Chain A
Amino acid sequence: MARELVAIIKHDCPVCVELLPALDAAAQDGAPLRIVSQSGGGDTAALWERLRLVSPVEIDEELALSALYDPDAVPALLLLDGGEERGRVEGLARDRIADLAAEAGFALHLDGLPAHRPGCASRTRDPLVAATLAARAARADGRLRSRTLRLGAHEDPFEALHERGLTDGLPVVPPTPERVVALLEGTRRHPQDVVGIVPPYGGTATVEKVAVNAVMAGCLPEHLPFVLAAVEAACEERFTMHGLLATTHPAGPLIVASGPLTERAGLNARGNCLGQGNRANLAIGRSLQLVVRNIGGGRPQIEDRSAHGNPGKLGACFAELQEGSPWEPLSVDRGFGAGETTVTLWAAEAPRLIVDQIARDPEGLCASLALALQSVAHPKQLFIWDALVVGPEHGRILREAGWDRARTRAELMRLTTSRIGDMLRGAGGSPEGLDPAVFGGNPDGMIPKFAGPDRIGLVHAGGSAGLFSMVYGMWASGEIGSTPVTRSVEPWM
């Protein structure tokens, strides 16, 4: 029965200082007692000299022993039996400490000490220290497996990350193990769970790898489930992320979040939701782009052949505004439950403005919306997918008329159906358009811009003042184009 008492102390804890002479005396008498200091060698030696202690003391290098037994407070007296803990006292509880020593087989003379004194916080509770210990533990138990990038002793971490090609042109938050472990608090999923395989080079996005990029993007833990769901969606075969990246077209992934959890996570569905200022929108959107770059390996002008790109390729994410919406949640439109929170990804260009400050009925409003839809890419080109972001002042017109998505879509489809002859190459003086060899035989027939009403995405979002909506043109190239994908956020929480 190898019983011993381990006493963990700090040099700057007055309660430890009160207790030490008694511990020292017992140790000198040969008691099975180990004194362990959380303080550095210098501070501990100075204290030993000041108190004229003679017993040996262990310096808890790297706080390994302290992390193992994890006391809240010092002095912490631990009764160990063959290394297994059988009892402990934290702080000065005189009689209980004496009892513990007795169980270890020796007498501790604590007369003259107060009966009760709370101790001081263990060094392992110092937030910075705790963060480092948590990171070390995560590495040790396999939650963190990423290779370590060690920077030069004098390197500026922000410049270093730029120089190593790991940024999107703006500085990123250096992804220390501490920050990544803290961000992983945002999910219950295991860091080694696979989220998706990222094109173009097929890098594996684990929860951990996504978290590293999400730290860089500036995310908070509550943003992480949205990022994970977006990465999952982007990696789905039918989203065709590889093609979207490689195309000369300017589009990039657009993330639209819908559901009750969006507001709690801080996403913006209101004023300036497509612009700057909201951390959640910007960091979530940016995370996906950094994942594509760093895990997928897709870089502008190399794998990414976009002729112009668009500002949304830095990151594009906003939330649907359910309050005042004419429609049921986008999640439901996309086949999910009413109470679910989802992200829907579209392969989108930059949004363009639709002004209508005159229309007061839904037919009139849809006429303006349809003109914008018709001119996506080119008025005489047929199109596959599109999305409208209808602002609240426009939305009210539809809501008051009771137009659900189906009714709105039907009207928009009707208004974007044109006479074939007007859509042919050369019509209206423009060489673009439908190929007469294919369509020329029926110039008075009618042809819709969109393959079906479901191809017109409808989202309600924006500030409460302004008779504006926005239209997102999309990337499409027939069979090998991108299909919108919706994934649920809850499984990633």
Chain B
Amino acid sequence: MSCGLHDVVSFEGLGRPAVLVASSVFRDVAAAEAQNLGQPAIRRVFVPHPVQDRTDDEMRAMAVAVADEVLAALRA
């Protein structure tokens, strides 16, 4: 997750809005690391934990559930 945050910070630095999609278990640690990276407002969207043992249908449902939020993050 931390590497993903670094990537997002890098893309923002290159002038492109970027959003990380991560499991909700990372909510707090992502906030702390975003603070450390000097960009507390890093765009991030969370999906319910766990992710690993979901069926394909459940994964697709997750995407449906967060698509609006992902676009909203890139538009904010």
A68 part of interface (Cβ distance < 8 Å): no
Contact B13 A163 (CB under 8 A): yes
Query: In the complex, what residues of A have CB within 8 A of residue B13's CB?
Result: 163
Interface residues of B in 1-36 (CB under 8 A from A): 2-3, 5-6, 9, 13, 33, 35-36
- Count chain A residues whose beta carbon lies closer than 8 angstroms to a beta carbon of B: 10
B37 part of interface (Cβ distance < 8 Å): yes
Chain A's nearest CB lies how many Å from the CB of B16? 15
Chain A's nearest CB lies how many Å from the CB of B40? 11
The CA of A1 and the CA of B72, in the complex, are separated in Å by: 67
Contact A153 B38 (CB under 8 A): no
Which of A153, A163, A164 makes the CB contact (< 8 A) with B36? Answer: A153
A155 part of interface (Cβ distance < 8 Å): yes
Interface residues of A in 139-164 (CB under 8 A from B): 149-155, 160, 163-164
Closest chain B residue, CB of each to CB of A150:
B36
Which of B2, B5, B35 makes the CB contact (< 8 A) with A150? Answer: B35
Chain A interface, DSSP helix/strand/loop, else mixed = loop
The CA of A152 and the CA of B30, in the complex, are separated in Å by: 11
The CA of A160 and the CA of B6, in the complex, are separated in Å by: 11
Closest chain B residue, CB of each to CB of A163:
B13
Chain B's nearest CB lies how many Å from the CB of A353? 42
Chain B's nearest CB lies how many Å from the CB of A159? 10
The CA of A153 and the CA of B6, in the complex, are separated in Å by: 10
Query: In the complex, what residues of B have CB within 8 A of residue A149's CB?
Result: 38
The CA of A49 and the CA of B2, in the complex, are separated in Å by: 39
The CA of A21 and the CA of B36, in the complex, are separated in Å by: 46
Query: In the complex, what residues of B have CB within 8 A of residue A154's CB?
Result: 2-3, 6
The CA of A153 and the CA of B1, in the complex, are separated in Å by: 12
The CA of A151 and the CA of B34, in the complex, are separated in Å by: 10
Closest chain B residue, CB of each to CB of A155:
B37
Chain A's nearest CB lies how many Å from the CB of B15? 14
Q: Provide the B45-75 mask, 1 if CB < 8 A to any CB of A, else 0.
A: 0000000000000000000000000000000
Closest chain A residue, CB of each to CB of B38:
A164
Query: In the complex, what residues of B have CB within 8 A of residue A160's CB?
Result: 38
Query: In the complex, what residues of B have CB within 8 A of residue A151's CB?
Result: 36-37
Chain B's nearest CB lies how many Å from the CB of A146? 15
The CA of A150 and the CA of B32, in the complex, are separated in Å by: 10
The CA of A60 and the CA of B38, in the complex, are separated in Å by: 33
Query: In the complex, what residues of A have CB within 8 A of residue B6's CB?
Result: 152, 154-155
Query: In the complex, what residues of A have CB within 8 A of residue B35's CB?
Result: 150
Please name 13 further chain A to chain B contacts, defined as beta carbons within 8 Å, in addition to the given A152-B5, A153-B33, sorted by A numbering: A150-B35, A151-B36, A152-B2, A152-B9, A152-B33, A152-B37, A153-B2, A153-B36, A155-B6, A155-B36, A160-B38, A163-B13, A164-B38
**A residues neighboring B (CB under 8 Å):** 149-155, 160, 163-164
Closest 9 CB pairs of A and B: A152-B37, A150-B36, A152-B36, A154-B2, A153-B2, A152-B33, A164-B38, A151-B36, A154-B6
24 A-B pairs in the complex with CB atoms less than 8 angstroms apart: A149-B38, A150-B35, A150-B36, A151-B36, A151-B37, A152-B2, A152-B5, A152-B6, A152-B9, A152-B33, A152-B36, A152-B37, A153-B2, A153-B33, A153-B36, A154-B2, A154-B3, A154-B6, A155-B6, A155-B36, A155-B37, A160-B38, A163-B13, A164-B38
